[in-house]
Amino acid sequence: MGSIHIEAKVGDIAETILLPGDPLRAKYVAENLLEDAVCYNHVRNMFGYTGYYNGKRVSIQGSGMGMGSTAIYVNELIETYKVKNVIRVGTCGAIQERLNVGQVILAMSASGDSGANMAYFNGFQYAATADFDLLYQAYETAKRLKINTIQGSIFSTDTFYDDNPNRWDKWERHGILGVEMETQILFTIAKRLGAKALSVLTVSDNIKTGASASSKEREQSYMDMMKIALELA
């Protein structure tokens, strides 16, 4: 018996799972980087696969865009399928001019404007942070693979479009590296439910400079990020 949004049977999903937002990225990675990959979910075309990487069992599951969609999958993966390690692999827009397209970021913490987080904590702000063990392992793995990473804080937003041209200035001044739409709720739910969480992000564009990756550059930098995440499994 599966959960509401995932049709897999209990046991079909590994203890460590990677969460790209795009289900087609999950499909691509499963078909090109995993061995003996089996698709366990087709509900809403939010594909999920379990296979093996260097002999270790790992799953990869699309989670959609935004914190609302991510929260659904993180809850069900941990509560129903007893996933222990949840690793987001996705893209972000940099808000520091020094960050180049393709840079890999290991998110230490996630500020944000999640309405769900505000509701959970009655209007107070919760410091959503990565699991230290996963973060440290990812850092050491990247060094071994000779992939340059930057460690720091990011911002998760519920709104992709906004009319304020100076929206990110205050966050840039306080050291936020980049902006995306999922990590804050991932860290919050994982902490609450007793799982470990990490977010490994690739800079796809720089909001300050206007730089943007070509499709080829995105593919290569995305693979660097995926190698780090898969080694953790």
- State the catalytic residues: 205
Tokens at 16, concatenated: 């460590």
Q: Which 3 state secondary structure label does DSSP give 74?
A: helix
| Angle between helix 215-232 and helix 132-144 axes, rounded to 10 deg | 120
User: Quick one: DSSP state of residue 43?
Assistant: G
Angle at 49 (CA atoms; ends 36, 224), nearest 5 degrees? 85
User: Quick one: DSSP state of residue 162?
Assistant: -
> Can you name the residues that pair with 205 across neighbouring β-strands?
93, 212
Q: Under 8 Å CB-to-CB from 130, ≥6 apart: which residues?
A: 106, 107, 108, 109, 187, 197, 198, 199
Distance CA 103, CA 147 (A): 9
Handedness of CA 181, 11, 130, 96 (dihedral sign): negative
Angle at 18 (CA atoms; ends 39, 218), nearest 5 degrees? 100
Encoded amino acid at 51, one letter: G
Distance CA 110, CA 115 (A): 14
CA dihedral 79, 83, 87, 89 (to 10 degrees): -80
